[in-house]
């Protein structure tokens, strides 16, 4: 016999999205059951954001001596102990893990079940020895690496983000399939740590980002020695003398064969919808994920879905934002509307690449000639010059009335600059607002104000304004 639980909310999935809902609901004294079949903290903590950024941090320090000579400093070459690098990555995960642990959440008042959850009816979920009938269910099962249909792929060992951080030895040649953010971040990290790296991308690298600014990132990575092959398809893979061989097909019809020690698949992610009984619960879904409305509700009115499992923008901060909206809906019965257009993202390469709001093309499609694009180069910023970080550009997309519709930044601390611009987009600020704030000198934040001021660059030459100034002078 299964023990019956009747909580107010049942959350399926202990990643960023599910944990945020469970913690917030429990803080208000709501009865919550959280079901997680794997590691608490989900992909972000264990195999995603945290370990990847920890590895990038190690790689950045390994790369520092290379740029020191430009400042008149000579440093001895530093060695890389890849096993110790891996140990530090694990230590960072371990330091954060208690915040997402079973003990912490049970201390908050959440009942945590470490088991696989499955809908057995539209209003019932089983997990381990329990049958759960809740007022509302939240599906937050996340996503997993998408495995492409490449000939021979099943016959060779490959890495994904779920296994990459288990390596104790540095690959001598890492072949990365996929030129998106994950692929390029890990390519640069391993290159800086001493590996030979080749990235193979079927289309344009960083294809979701502004082409002009993305090209600056690609150029910078190539300058560090990473071979980035765009518009190149992977035809097949096979074993070769303890290594892996990859046959490539170029757009010209020519082919090439690469031999490496490891293959990293960075070809996107798929929603985790299998095995949880969505059909039984009457929850519409497809290969892209669970279908939800702007209110995050599924076709089963008792069930909501948030995070990667819904497809769309698969970011930890997007999941957290959706969780906040859902708490308003579940606890306070307030209307909510998820607007992915306002969601920022950052690729943490060096230089970083950040985006928020509408792209230039999307803005012109919607507003036509009313759109103006304003730019400021890092080379014109005094702090960037002092730091030797002049490779970069900030771009603001202004719409009717000078309202900020979107922004892109490539360069040092682009992720930090996007914080300010994300606030500006969400609050519908204008170029007047952005040109009027005071930025401390010297900071990279001055780039925002400089670009915004350029919106008014043609004002001094306006005849009507000159006439007004002339009139005012007559009054003394």
Instruction: Please provide residue 454's backbone torsions phi and psi, each rounded to the nearest 5 degrees.
Output: -65, -15
163 annotated binding-site participant: no
List, in order, residues 6 or more apart from 65 with CB less than 8 Å away.
75, 76, 77, 78
Residue 260 to residue 244: CA distance in whole angstroms = 5
183 annotated binding-site participant: yes
178 annotated binding-site participant: yes
The number of beta carbons lying within 10 Å of the beta carbon of residue 104 is 16
143 annotated binding-site participant: yes
> Helices 211-223 & 181-192, crossing angle to 10 degrees?
20
**Token pair of 268 as six digits:** 């996107």
Helices (H), 333-413: 360-367, 382-387
Give the C-alpha distances (Å, rounded to integers) separating 88 from 40, 342, 417, 430: 20, 34, 28, 44
- What residues form DSSP beta bridges with 351? none
List, in order, residues 6 or more apart from 44 with CB less than 8 Å away.
15, 16, 50, 316
- Count of CA atoms in the C-beta half-sphere (13 A) of 277: 16
Residue 104 to residue 98: CA distance in whole angstroms = 7
Residue 27 to residue 316: CA distance in whole angstroms = 21
384-387 contacts, C-beta under 8 A, 24 or more apart:
384/411, 384/412, 384/444, 386/442, 387/412
Q: In the chain, helix, strand, coil percent, each to 5?
A: 40, 25, 35
**Token pair of 25 as six digits:** 């609901």
154 annotated binding-site participant: no
180 annotated binding-site participant: yes
Residue 300 to residue 282: CA distance in whole angstroms = 6
181 annotated binding-site participant: yes
Nearest alpha carbon to residue 134 among 152, 153, 113, 163:
113
| Chain CA centroid to CA 44, Å | 10
185 annotated binding-site participant: yes
201 annotated binding-site participant: yes
Give the C-alpha distances (Å, rounded to integers) separating 186 from 86, 157, 163, 393: 14, 18, 13, 23
List, in order, residues 6 or more apart from 426 with CB less than 8 Å away.
342
142 annotated binding-site participant: yes
177 annotated binding-site participant: no
15 annotated binding-site participant: no
166 annotated binding-site participant: no
Residue 288 to residue 268: CA distance in whole angstroms = 11
List, as residue ranges, the binding site for NAD(+): 178-185, 201, 268
List, as residue ranges, the binding site for FAD: 53, 141-143, 308
List, as residue ranges, the binding site: 53, 141-143, 178-185, 201, 268, 308
């Amino acid at each position: 016999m299964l023990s019956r639980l009747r909580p107010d909310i049942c959350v399926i999935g202990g990643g960023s999205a599910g944990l945020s809902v469970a913690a917030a609901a429990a803080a208000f004294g709501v009865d919550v059951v959280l079901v997680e079949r794997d590691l608490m903290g989900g992909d972000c903590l264990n195999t995603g954001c945290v370990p990847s950024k920890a590895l990038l941090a190690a790689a950045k320090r390994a790369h520092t001596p290379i740029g020191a000579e430009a400042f008149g400093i000579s440093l001895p070459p530093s060695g890389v102990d890849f096993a110790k690098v891996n140990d530090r990555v694990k230590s960072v995960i371990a330091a954060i893990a208690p915040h997402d642990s079973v003990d912490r959440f049970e201390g908050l008042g959440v009942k945590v079940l470490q088991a696989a959850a499955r809908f057995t009816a539209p209003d019932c979920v089983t997990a381990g020895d329990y049958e759960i009938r809740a007022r509302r269910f939240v599906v937050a099962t996340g996503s997993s690496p998408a495995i492409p249909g490449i000939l021979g792929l099943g016959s060779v060992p490959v890495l994904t983000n779920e296994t990459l951080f288990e390596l104790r030895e540095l690959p001598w040649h890492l072949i990365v399939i996929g030129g998106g953010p994950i692929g390029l971040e890990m390519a640069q990290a391993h290159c800086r740590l001493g590996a030979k790296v080749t990235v193979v991308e079927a289309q344009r690298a960083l294809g979701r980002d502004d082409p002009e600014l993305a090209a600056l990132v690609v150029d910078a990575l190539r300058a560090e020695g990473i071979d980035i092959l765009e518009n190149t398809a992977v035809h097949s893979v096979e074993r070769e003398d303890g290594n892996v061989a990859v046959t490539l097909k170029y757009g010209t019809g020519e082919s090439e064969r690469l031999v490496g020690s490891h293959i990293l698949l960075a070809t996107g992610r798929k929603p985790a919808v299998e095995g949880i009984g969505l059909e039984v619960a009457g929850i519409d879904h497809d290969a892209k994920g669970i279908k939800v409305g702007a209110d995050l509700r599924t076709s089963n009115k008792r069930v909501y879905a948030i995070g990667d499992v819904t497809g769309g923008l698969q970011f930890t901060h997007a999941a957290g934002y959706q969780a906040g909206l859902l708490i308003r809906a579940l606890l306070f019965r307030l209307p909510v509307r998820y607007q992915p257009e306002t969601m920022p993202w950052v690729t943490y390469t060096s230089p970083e690449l950040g985006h928020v709001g509408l792209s230039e093309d999307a803005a012109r499609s919607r507003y036509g000639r009313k759109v103006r694009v304003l730019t400021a180069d890092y080379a014109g910023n005094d702090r960037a010059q002092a730091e030797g970080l002049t490779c970069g550009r900030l771009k603001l997309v202004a719409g009717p009335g000078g309202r900020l519709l979107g922004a892109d930044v490539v360069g040092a601390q682009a992720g930090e600059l996007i914080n300010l611009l994300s606030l500006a987009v969400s609050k519908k600020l204008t170029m007047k607002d952005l040109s009027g704030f005071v930025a401390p000198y010297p900071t990279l934040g001055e780039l925002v104000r400089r670009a915004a001021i350029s919106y008014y660059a043609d004002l001094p030459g306006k005849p009507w304004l000159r006439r007004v100034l002339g009139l005012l002078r007559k009054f003394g």
